[in-house]
A and B are shown apart, each in its own frame.
With several copies, the nearest count.
Chain A
Amino acid sequence: MRKDLVFGMAGSGGDGIVSAGESLLNAAAAEGYHGMMTKSFGSQIRGGESSCRVRISTEHLLNPGGDLDVAVALNWEDFLKFGAELPVSGSTVVIYEAATKVEPDRIPLMGVTPLQVIPVPISEMAKATAGTERAKNTVVLGLIAGWFGIGREAVLKGFRKKLAKKGEDVLAANERAFYEGIKFAEAHPLNTPMTIALSDGAVSGKLMTDGNDMCAAAAIFSGCQFFSGYPITPSTEIMQFFTEHVWKYGGAVLQAEDEIAGIGAAIGASFAGKKSMTATSGPGLSLKTEMMGLASIAELPLVIVDVQRGGPSTGMPTKPEQSDLFAAAFSGHGDVVRPILAPTCVADTFRVTVEAFNLAEEFQTPVLILSDQEISQRKETLDPIDTSQFKIVDRIRPSEADLQNYNRFKITESGISPISHPGMLGGTYLASGIEHNENGSPTASGEVHQRMNEKRIRKFDPLQNRRDLFHTVGNPDAPLALVAWGSIAGVCQEAVTIAREEGLNVKMLVPYLVYPVAEGVYREFFASVQRGLVVEQSHLGQFYRVLRMYVDLPKGVESMARSGANPFRPSEIVVVLHRLLAELQRSQAGNLQPQE
């Protein structure tokens, strides 16, 4: 019995492979399992290749898994297009469409000998039972139920809900196709049975959603009443959620004419006193650069979501990457600090989004949430979240006394100045992107400029102590360490678990606050570290470089970085950890310092 199974399936657009994945995930969730699903498509809008990965587990999941346990190929051409996204290994069971006429010992997976390879006449079975090839995905669900024991009941229940409107005939046809799959599986048992342990999870109250919907819901929970943005993959669903729900809370949403107007209207709403948000992906973030600077110098709260995809430029719109960190931290002329938060999964997207609004309000600043294509579009089952645990922060308003002789940009001890908004009697002021005096009037004085820069940057000092925005795993004294942020952190966390099971003394640091760099947190974390890795999905190793700017990393800490759409797998990381340990032992044996 296994704790965990990873399915990967691919076919052409019309094959309904994604909808099969969704049925499987729903069924697993209904049976009390934890589940996670990612989708991946070719560039075509319709009819191109499409794939999904569904991971099902008896325990909380941190990432969509590495090598597949089960691969389903409705045709090989499309399957192969996903390359490293659907990795088959020696322990994978490969199920494929027999009509592809490929011999089981000739499947086009160079250099890999899967655990078992099973051709199945899927379309034939679909036609025979349901009268249409379109039921292929249902046959696949039957095969999975039969071989791996997931969803026997729940898939059918799901069909009943989903197909209710389509009438009894359709439902019956699908049931027949599903049973045909089960029958085939039962008739051809696996060489090595692969069933998953019974779930111990609660069946009711579980949530299921993806990162984009979670982000939007968290924003509304935080009191966000205004969203404006421009559609861009893979962030558009955030705006879509708002267009459905925000009106209910007295809010409004504007689909702007471009990203500049998108952030512009959000800045306007913030100036008018409302919590507001914009969301985009790489190209849009680049376009918002000038306006982000305006929000910083005008000291206006604002949350900006960047759902990272492959860059630069239009790049790889449907693939995840972590290469927008430089842009998030440093885009824009002049001296600016902009806090950046990053979720590592769908579940913590809630917490991170609420925190982003809190920081924006507290520090009167734009705050960036760096999500990525994977988190934003992957579906996860999650345990219920007790929202009453979350504190909601509002910007500090001027007191009666402040309004006597109101200075909007008063240089206070904290660097934060009480902020008024239109409609507030006595609070009128001039907001501007021009350097200004405490009262808001424009200045060309170098001294004032210096004082104002100092104020605007000093105000972030308290972030240095926000240890609650970091998560650590493992033994605090470990000499081996990993640091990772965003979606890859979930992969690393699994690698740490494996490595620790294999006896390595390794620990891990996950920053939710990615920038500014909380120097003390890293200094403490690295105190015991002699060898380590900063793991990320960006060719330049952007996070590693950003850390170096502020922290003297121990000499043995390396960058492990690769472009997006080629996710690191836990096993790869574990291999490197072993290498590092060996080096460390060698150097200790020879009493050498780590080499530069």
Chain B
Amino acid sequence: MSETATPAMPFLPKDYKSDLKPIWCPGCGDFSVVQAIYRALASIGRAPHETAFISGIGCSSRIPGYTTAYGFNTVHGRSLPIAQGIKLANPDLLVLAAGGDGDGFSIGGGHVPHLVRRNMDITYIVMDNQIYGLTKGQLSPTSPKGRISCTSKYGSLEEPVNPLQYVLGYGANFVAQGSPADLAGMTAIIEEAIRFPGFAFVNLQSPCVTYGEECQQIKGLKAIMEPLASIGHDPSDRMKAMEIAQYYGQKLHTGVLYRNPNPPPTYESMVKQRQEELSKGAMPKEQILDLFIKR
């Protein structure tokens, strides 16, 4: 997000709220997530129409429709490639991507490392409820081993995905975790992620009240919550962040796990530089066929 494009005119959280009534189950964690996003966007202050909000498919992926940004509710698992095309086509936009744990780490899991290594300035928020909500309760990649669900009648046989460890392993420069169990903290994390100049990943443990287990509800999450600030974690220490990430699923560490103090240049900034260099003295596109003239 280029700072220069930020207007002086202030926006309120409600300016980012659309008229569409959420159809989430009463009590779903995603209600808090969208509130946090309204607030984070307001405090950043970019106009809604300069924001593109991309998602896949899932309960969580309905979120762009509840904002006044340009929204794109794409197909299951494909928010990230589409978000990258948007960012490259217009780097001045504030680009958010969001979706569920299944959307991001099952069907969409192949796209994550490539966005990370391209380091485009896109913020990716996963509403990790450790279940497939929209399709009514199947195993998700983050469901714990042994979890009984309608597709694992006798318990899951797989180790869960560890989103934090994966994304750190991909070399991300900003990795954080939050939860509706701490609305203020979650808002602050989202805001910081958006402000971070480069790719930023936020995992949110957002309870599914309908298909989630007891321990994944707000109360359960609060019981295992451990704010990183409270344990004096230094977010510039990548190896330490990796170690903490191993507790995913046992503890809920909230806050910034890793923030690269010297963020590398973004992909789009390198593209811009290349465009500037190469467009100098280029033949007009109307004459591009001259390239083929045999001399």
In the complex, A touching B (Cβ < 8 A): yes
* Complex interface: chain B residues within 8 A of A566 (CB): none
- With A248-B282, A350-B289: A268-B83 Cβ-Cβ less than 8 Å: yes
Name the residue among A206, A232, A313, A430 with the largest chain B CB count within 10 angstroms.
Answer: A430
Cα–Cα distance between A206 and B136 once the two chains are bound (Å): 29
Q: Which of B19-27, B35-43, B174-182, B225-233 contacts A (4 or more CB under 8 A)?
A: B19-27
- With A231-B151, A255-B152: A271-B72 Cβ-Cβ less than 8 Å: yes
Complex interface residues of chain B between 279 and 295 (CB less than 8 A to chain A): 279, 282, 285-289, 291-294
How far, in Å, is B69 (CB) from chain A's closest CB?
A: 6
Cα–Cα distance between A303 and B54 once the two chains are bound (Å): 22
Name the residue among B70, B109, B152 with the largest chain A CB count within 10 angstroms.
Answer: B70
- With A294-B74, A314-B75, A431-B72: A265-B25 Cβ-Cβ less than 8 Å: no
* Complex interface: chain B residues within 8 A of A276 (CB): 85, 89
* Complex interface: chain B residues within 8 A of A228 (CB): 81, 85
Q: Name 20 extra pairs, CB < 8 A, besides A247-B275, A265-B84, A268-B54.
A: A45-B23, A47-B26, A48-B23, A206-B294, A226-B88, A228-B81, A236-B150, A250-B275, A252-B271, A262-B81, A264-B84, A268-B82, A384-B293, A422-B70, A422-B90, A423-B90, A423-B93, A424-B49, A430-B71, A432-B65
Across the interface, name the chain A residue whose C-beta is closest to B76: A283
How far, in Å, is A288 (CB) from chain B's closest CB?
A: 11
For chain B, the count of residues having a C-beta within 8 Å of the partner chain is 77
Cα–Cα distance between A421 and B70 once the two chains are bound (Å): 8
A26, A48, A230: the one within 8 Å of B107 (CB): A230
A selection of 10 A-B contacts at a CB cut-off of 8 Å is A208-B294, A209-B292, A213-B292, A254-B84, A258-B110, A298-B72, A423-B50, A430-B73, A441-B65, A442-B62
| B138, CB-defined interface residue at 8 Å | yes
Q: How large is the interface on A (under 10, 10 to 19, 20 to 34, 35 or more residues)?
A: 35 or more
Across the interface, name the chain A residue whose C-beta is closest to B65: A430
* Complex interface: chain B residues within 8 A of A313 (CB): 75
How far, in Å, is B45 (CB) from chain A's closest CB?
A: 15
Map CB proximity to A onto B172-204 as digits: 1 under 8 Å, 0 otherwise. Answer: 000000000000000000000000000000000
| B168, CB-defined interface residue at 8 Å | no
* Complex interface: chain A residues within 8 A of B84 (CB): 254, 261, 264-265, 268
B85 touches A250 (CB 8 A): no
B292 touches A422 (CB 8 A): no
| B86, CB-defined interface residue at 8 Å | yes
B151 touches A261 (CB 8 A): no
How far, in Å, is A268 (CB) from chain B's closest CB?
A: 3
| A570, CB-defined interface residue at 8 Å | no
B residues neighboring A (CB under 8 Å)? 20, 23-26, 47-52, 54, 57, 59, 62, 64-65, 68-78, 80-90, 92-93, 106-107, 109-111, 114, 132-136, 138-139, 141, 150-154, 210, 271, 274-275, 277-279, 282, 285-289, 291-294
| A385, CB-defined interface residue at 8 Å | yes
- 7 smallest CB-CB distances across A and B, nearest first, come from A268-B85, A264-B81, A265-B85, A248-B282, A261-B81, A272-B89, A269-B89
- With A257-B111, A441-B20: A236-B279 Cβ-Cβ less than 8 Å: no
Across the interface, name the chain B residue whose C-beta is closest to A275: B89
A45, A207, A223, A233: the one within 8 Å of B59 (CB): A45
A44 touches B282 (CB 8 A): no
B72 touches A266 (CB 8 A): no
Q: Which of A57-65, A237-245, A334-342 contacts B (4 or more CB under 8 A)?
A: A237-245
| A429, CB-defined interface residue at 8 Å | yes
B57 touches A314 (CB 8 A): yes
* Complex interface: chain B residues within 8 A of A245 (CB): 288, 291
| A149, CB-defined interface residue at 8 Å | no
| A454, CB-defined interface residue at 8 Å | no
Cα–Cα distance between A255 and B114 once the two chains are bound (Å): 10
How far, in Å, is B126 (CB) from chain A's closest CB?
A: 16
**Interchain pairs with CB closer than 8 A, number:** 260
Cα–Cα distance between A354 and B272 once the two chains are bound (Å): 26
How far, in Å, is A332 (CB) from chain B's closest CB?
A: 11
A208, A223, A240, A272: the one within 8 Å of B285 (CB): A223
B294 touches A256 (CB 8 A): no
| A108, CB-defined interface residue at 8 Å | no
How far, in Å, is A468 (CB) from chain B's closest CB?
A: 21
Cα–Cα distance between A294 and B82 once the two chains are bound (Å): 11
A46 touches B25 (CB 8 A): yes
B278 touches A385 (CB 8 A): no
A428 touches B151 (CB 8 A): no
A45 touches B73 (CB 8 A): no
Across the interface, name the chain B residue whose C-beta is closest to A284: B76
- With A207-B289, A249-B279, A250-B279: A269-B85 Cβ-Cβ less than 8 Å: yes
Cα–Cα distance between A272 and B89 once the two chains are bound (Å): 6
A268 touches B151 (CB 8 A): no
Map CB proximity to B onto A34-49 as digits: 1 under 8 Å, 0 otherwise. Answer: 0000000011111110
A290 touches B75 (CB 8 A): yes
A239 touches B90 (CB 8 A): no
A217, A233, A384, A429: the one within 8 Å of B288 (CB): A217
Cα–Cα distance between A398 and B277 once the two chains are bound (Å): 34
A442 touches B89 (CB 8 A): no
Across the interface, name the chain B residue whose C-beta is closest to A205: B293
- With A47-B26, A221-B285, A265-B85: A257-B278 Cβ-Cβ less than 8 Å: no
Across the interface, name the chain B residue whose C-beta is closest to A386: B289
* Complex interface: chain A residues within 8 A of B81 (CB): 228, 256, 260-262, 264-265, 268
Cα–Cα distance between A425 and B68 once the two chains are bound (Å): 11
A442 touches B65 (CB 8 A): yes
Cα–Cα distance between A220 and B72 once the two chains are bound (Å): 26
A268 touches B86 (CB 8 A): yes
Cα–Cα distance between A236 and B211 once the two chains are bound (Å): 16
A206 touches B293 (CB 8 A): yes
Across the interface, name the chain A residue whose C-beta is closest to B50: A423
* Complex interface: chain A residues within 8 A of B287 (CB): 387
Cα–Cα distance between A59 and B139 once the two chains are bound (Å): 41
* Complex interface: chain B residues within 8 A of A382 (CB): 292
B69, B77, B107, B210: the one within 8 Å of A46 (CB): B210
Cα–Cα distance between A264 and B89 once the two chains are bound (Å): 13
| A267, CB-defined interface residue at 8 Å | yes
| A225, CB-defined interface residue at 8 Å | yes
- With A426-B49, A429-B71: A243-B152 Cβ-Cβ less than 8 Å: yes
How far, in Å, is B106 (CB) from chain A's closest CB?
A: 5
Map CB proximity to B onto A281-314 as digits: 1 under 8 Å, 0 otherwise. Answer: 0010000001100100010000000000000011
How far, in Å, is B195 (CB) from chain A's closest CB?
A: 19
* Complex interface: chain A residues within 8 A of B294 (CB): 26, 29-30, 206-208, 381
| A549, CB-defined interface residue at 8 Å | no
* Complex interface: chain B residues within 8 A of A314 (CB): 57, 73, 75-76
Cα–Cα distance between A273 and B107 once the two chains are bound (Å): 27
Name the residue among A30, A267, A385 with the largest chain B CB count within 10 angstroms.
Answer: A267
